Structure 1
Amino acid sequence: MTTVIMCGAHDAEDTVRKHTFVADLIPDAVLHVFDGAGHFPTLEAPDNVAAKLQGWFQTPLRLT
């Protein structure tokens, strides 16, 4: 299963740059950046986060 990394576009503590760095280290990782959200995208953009998670949950499991 693909690793999903999520962050808020306006997170001053854990920046998009940090999340991009981590995503680049994980093969096949997907980074989702939520506009209008800061450090807590699950609270600041819950519908957008839920939509991304629902899509991820529907992705077929890849056994390697």
Structure 2
Amino acid sequence: MPDGSHLAFRKSSYSSGTGQNCVEVADAPGFSAVRDSQYPDAGHLTVPAPEWSAFLADVKAGRL
């Protein structure tokens, strides 16, 4: 798993506007990293770029 200290995380546009249930995402060459904004020190999940793109396409199309 890549070290997350060099990643620039941003709050997902799909996160709750009330500050709860927030997901943060960071893009890097070849992968994206996802973490819980309430527990950023707990680590992150890395997802290969093609799978992340497919996931976002499904979310935007309402399939998930």
**Higher share of residues assigned strand:** 2
Shared fold by TM > 0.5?
no
TM-score class, shorter-chain normalisation, is 0.3 to 0.5
- Quick one: higher RCO (CA 8 Å, sep 6+), 1 or 2? 1
TM-score for both structures, normalised by structure 2: 0.32
Identify, as 1 or 2, the structure richer in helix: 1
| TM superposition score normalised by structure 1 | 0.32
